[in-house]
Amino acid sequence: MELHTLLPGKPWPLGAHADAGGVNFAIFSANATAVFLCLFDLDGQTELARLPLRGHTLDVWHGYLPEAVPGLIYGLRCEGPWAPQEGHYFNPEKLLLDPYAREIVGQFNWNDAHFCAIPESHEQPCPEDNGRHALKARVPAPDDFDWGDDAPPEISPADTVIYELHVKGFSKSNPAIPEALRGTYAGLAHPASLAHLKRLGVTALSILPVHYHLDELRLTQMGLVNYWGYNSINFFTPDPRYASGADGLSVGDEFRTMVRALHAAGIKVLLDVVYNHTAEGDATGPSISFRGLDNASYYRLDANNKRTFINDTGCGNTLDIRQPNVLRLVLDSLRYWVSEMHVDGFRFDLAPILGRDDSGFNPRAAFFAAVAQDPVLSHVTMIAEPWDIGPGGYQLGGFPRGWHEWNDRFRDTLRAFWLGHPCTRGDFAMRLCGSSDLFQANRREPLASVNYIVSHDGYTLRDLVSYVARRNQANGEDNRDGHNHNLSNNCGEEGPSTDPAVLALRGRMQRVLLASALFSQGTPMLAAGDELGHSQGGNNNPYCQDNPGTWIAWAEADQDLIAFTARLLSLRRQAMLFATHWYRRGPSDLVWLRKDGEALHSHEWRDTGARTLGCLINHPGRASVPLLLLVNAEPTDCHFTLPAGEWRCWFDTTASTGERDWHGSSTTPFTLGAHSMVLLAAGAAKLNL
């Protein structure tokens, strides 16, 4: 039979799948009138054949190509109505990428041929064929990766400490890693990387997007790139820009090797994923995949003017998760990364998009129901960024049971409390103890709150205590981009300083902020580099900065701060100040104290001036003795009267590594340093950290 003879094939599974006799192709499009399979030479430059998919079942176009084998390079073309007023942009001159592609061929470069419409009008189809320039898919070979005895690390939710990192930025400047591996999946799996992560004691990595993504035209014209990667064009393919090609591994197998190595080190892998929009932008954007296949199905459009894209993401378009086949795409992608790539969970960018129906955000939306009943997805970690820019987009505390949420109220409250902005002791205590006001009403546990001080989005920890004003000029937007509401404090001098007093205060502030996140009730998250004093020069929005300014500067690492962070994590594991599965209720669990040792009165919780308090924890999560957490966010030392009994200091943030050898009793004066947090344990026993 001729290779170019296409049989009807099957409508499932979607994408290209090889078997012993050939390859089946299945493509969703509800509004196309014809879909063509375009075959290319091995260079992906010459179109060899254009074959109509004659099978058509429930909006899926399908065909079977006998004798075809893995490695075949292909693209798609669609015929259908050109009717922008109805949301249709079918243009057979545009070669389209299969949304289910698992291997991508070519490198995307901006070209006028990628646009489905004539740029000047956006109303007439562009007649230029983009076949030579377009990304193509390669039929994947059956997965034969040797996983060995790989399995998800057995880490209890209570022991989860998340470490957010960028694959390239984490290792690109690490001299302990061979240069060819730096900034790659292999670099993250290198023994030097694993040794650092294990020394710290983190148990889960939250990895910034690795789905295949594109750099926006505007950034390309300015000589910049989308460094963070929140601009996906495919949801199945790991981005090749982070592959080293070492040992002849494919991009997918290098990613799998990384996951296997992290699992062997006892570290879970969580992917930051972007299912809220694609790189195709608004109506003026290119036609690379989804727009040309079925724009009106994949994207949310204004019902009164379908030329207009709903932009709840701020990125030009919004995927329409309400559509069954778009929902299936997202679920199939998630299952693929769990089943085929062995990842352990996901952090969802702009997560309310996933739950939007016709009335707004709905925690019972189809996506959440589908995940909850799915035999694969219901058992992995799900973390929401609980806001988007659409109507009613701020949904902190509104996600279903079992989900975790980034808690920006925790972030802002602790920044305000420690860095001198308006804040009450009551607000601080509420965040420290799991944010029950946000989560308890929906019968959710304290672990639902992901507690962080900084993340990739904003200042680093070092910059938070070094800058009041952002320094984003390098982003090319005249310093207009990025947050103004940083709640930062430069400790007396803006930017870099050589003043010993300023540097000492900055170090103290970094330590107490780290301790606040890790002593808190909930799931803590650290940002990579904060444990070694990494600075981005005051840029609080470096999404387009792929350079040494964003790569972690290992050669300048603060070794004392690394030791401090590792000791702090060890203390968290051993002592676990607060129980993880329930909220504290009353004096049998917690007693809140003033510095004179007396219980705080109700009116004192609302005082924005006083920032000293103690918390007597009678039943800690793991420690066998009562614990006393002392807090002083004021600029001077104070004397704290301890409760009756004998006490030993287990941790003091005023010390560069957290160690302070002190023990005494309620009759022994205890000095609580300025801008500090101290943990004391009842009795005389030392803790081996």
| 598 is annotated as an active-site residue | no
Angle of helix 559-575 relative to helix 191-200, nearest 10 degrees, comes to 60
- Phi–psi pair at 394, nearest 5 degrees: -90, 110
How far apart CA 340 and CA 582 sit, in angstroms, is: 35
E strand segments, 390-513: 404-406, 449-451
DSSP string, 323-391: SHHHHHHHHHHHHHHHHTT---EEEETTGGGGGEETTEE-TTSHHHHHHHH-TTGGGSEEEE--B-SST
Please report how many Cα atoms fall inside a 13 Å half-sphere around the Cα of residue 119, on the Cβ side: 8
Element (H or E) spanning 532, and its range?
none
552 contact partners, CB below 8 Å, separation of at least 6: 169, 170, 171, 172, 173, 174, 528, 529, 532, 534
Residue carrying the six token digits 């290119």: 286
Q: Which amino acid is at 144?
A: D
Active-site residue among 294, 385, 463, 530? 385
Q: Which amino acid is at 185?
A: Y
E strand segments, 170-241: 204-207
- What number of other Cβ atoms are within 10 A of residue 45's Cβ? 14
Closest CA to 194 of 259, 253, 250, 249: 259
Bridge partners of residue 615, in order along the sequence: 592, 629
Q: Which two tokens stand for residue 42?
A: 């091995």
- CA dist 121 → 84, 115, 116, 316, 480 (Å): 11, 12, 11, 18, 30
Query: Torsion angle of alpha carbons 199, 201, 204, 210, nearest 10°?
Result: -30
Residue 419's SS3 state is helix
CB 78 within 8 A of CB 292: yes
Residue 539's SS3 state is coil
| 340 is annotated as an active-site residue | no
CB 632 within 8 A of CB 676: yes
How far apart CA 145 and CA 124 sit, in angstroms, is: 47
How far apart CA 366 and CA 373 sit, in angstroms, is: 11
Active-site residue among 98, 239, 349, 427? 349
Catalytic site residues? 349, 385
